[in-house]
Amino acid sequence: MSARKLTCAFITLTVVLLCQSVRSKLQVGFYRNLCNLAETIVKEEVRKGISRDEGVAAGLVRLHFHDCFARGCDASVLIDSTPGNSAEQDSPANDPSLRGFAVIDRAKARLEAICKGVVSCADIVAFAARDSIMIAGGFGYEVPAGRRDGRISLVNETFTNLPPPTLNVDQLTQAFAKKGFTQEEMITLTGAHTIGRSHCTSFSERLYNFNGTTSQDPSLDSTYVTQLKQRCPQGSKNPNLVVPMTTDCPSFRDAGYYKNVLANRGLFTSDQTLMTNAATAIPVNQNARNPNLWRSKFAAAMLKMSQLDVLTGDAGEIRSNCRVINS
């Protein structure tokens, strides 16, 4: 065997062993003998939440993303601020746009009633994101569990870990690479913008104050700009103004996000920037043409994300209340 082949074989083996090491800490069916109704109860509460407000599906997926990208998948995003500490929830990236907390609270309360101190908040968030994807038309996937809850939540950590919607394609690629994702996985995960909504404040500069020479972003479809301006008036101080992330019916079944980007209707700079680079434009086209392929890749990427920097074994704790660390 040549030296090059030996090197490639070694690298492949190393990657496989690392992946197996992470997975060995988490197990599919972790609660089967500990609290066998855990995943069923979470799914029930997710269904109830989405029946009250279909936007909760997108909220729970985003909640999982924001949890995992800041300090790992440890439910630190659920911890409330205290007089002595500003938690992740206080970040402009999370407040007031992050939602789904009530669904997690209800699931946790039911689980504590039958399996006190067993099911972690971090696992509930991971289960809820998976269930939301399935209900919204995406492919399901088995979620390995056994995560523990973190005891620290710092607002400052969101500033360096959560990619803002203003990033260009190179910055976005670098932000995801820091978390171990390839560029294609980054493109796959941004497809979560197929569902959900955005506050006007997250993209209004593209409509009214793009740069020193142009008031609106020339990469945006002009008809779409007119529609957005009607929903987001210039100078509005209303923090509750929102628009759908995509112009089509929001569902993971049709990968509408990528179709919007191809039509120059990517809502965020970080969405439309995918068309500025040939390497990223190709997967956008592929995902738009083949929604089933994207749904399969999305499930795999979400599974990978759900294992970012998890706490297992004796690390962390199992919170009795997801919003407060145990005393």
- Residue 66 among the catalytic residues: yes
Q: Residue 271 annotated as binding?
A: no
More confident residue, 100 or 12: 100
Q: 83 burial class (0-12, 13-18, 19+ CB within 10 angstroms)?
A: exposed
For residue 25, name the pLDDT band (cuts at 50, 70, 90): confident
Average pLDDT of the residues in 256-285? 96
Residue 18 reports pLDDT greater than 60: no
Q: What is the pLDDT of residue 17?
A: 42
At residue 277 the predicted structure's pLDDT band, cuts being 50, 70 and 90, is very high
pLDDT grade for 13, boundaries at 50, 70 and 90: very low
Give the separation between CA 243 and CA 247, rounded to whole angstroms: 9
Which pLDDT band, with edges at 50, 70 and 90, does 20 fall under? very low
Residue 324 phi/psi, 5-degree rounding, is -140, 135
Distance in angstroms (rounded) separating the CA atoms of residues 243 and 259: 17
Per-residue pLDDT at 289 exceeds 60: yes
- The confidence score (pLDDT) of residue 159 equals 97
76 is in an annotated binding site: yes
Q: Could you tell me the pLDDT band of residue 56, with boundaries at 50, 70 and 90?
A: very high
pLDDT value for 239: 84
Among 43, 64, 66, 197, the active-site one is 66
What local confidence, expressed as pLDDT, does residue 250 receive? Answer: 74
Q: State yes or no: pLDDT of 303 exceeds 90.
A: yes
Taking the CA of residue 59 as centre, how many other CA atoms within 13 Å lie in the half-sphere pointing to its CB? 19
- Compute the average pLDDT of residues 105-130: 98
Binding residue per annotation — 194? yes
Looking at residue 212, its pLDDT comes to: 78
Residue 105 has pLDDT above 80, yes or no: yes
- What is the value of pTM for the model shown? 0.91
- What is the average pLDDT across 110-133? 98
72 is in an annotated binding site: yes
Q: What pLDDT score was predicted for residue 12?
A: 42
Per-residue pLDDT at 254: 85
Q: How many CA atoms lie within 13 A of 293 on its CB side?
A: 12
Residue 246 annotated in ligand binding = no
124-149 pLDDT per residue, tens: 999 999 999 999 999 999 999 999 99
Torsion-angle region of residue 118: left (phi > 0), alpha (psi -120 to 50) or beta? alpha
Share of the chain above pLDDT 70, in %: 93
Residue 23 pLDDT exceeds 90:
no
Residue 213, pLDDT score: 84
Mean pLDDT, rounded, for 4-28: 51
Mean pLDDT of the chain: 92
Q: Is the pLDDT of residue 171 over 90?
A: yes
Check whether 193 is labelled as a binding-site residue: yes
- Helix then strand count (H, E) for the chain reads 14, 2
Task: Tell whether residue 88 is among the known ligand binding residues.
Answer: yes
> Which letter, b or e, does each residue of 135-167 get, where b requires 16 or more Cβ atoms within 10 Å of its Cβ?
bbbbbebebbbbbbbbeebbbebbeebbbbbeb
Collapsing DSSP to helix, strand or coil, 149 comes out as strand
Q: Is the pLDDT of residue 117 over 90?
A: yes
pLDDT at 327 over 90: no
| Mean pLDDT, range 83-110, rounded to an integer | 96
State the pLDDT at residue 21.
Answer: 47
pLDDT digits 0-9 by tens, 191-213: 999 999 999 999 999 999 898 78
C-beta of residue 180 within 8 angstroms of C-beta of residue 245: no
Is the per-residue pLDDT at 62 higher than 80? yes
| CA 78 to chain centroid | 14
Instruction: Enter the tokens of residue 179.
Output: 């978390």
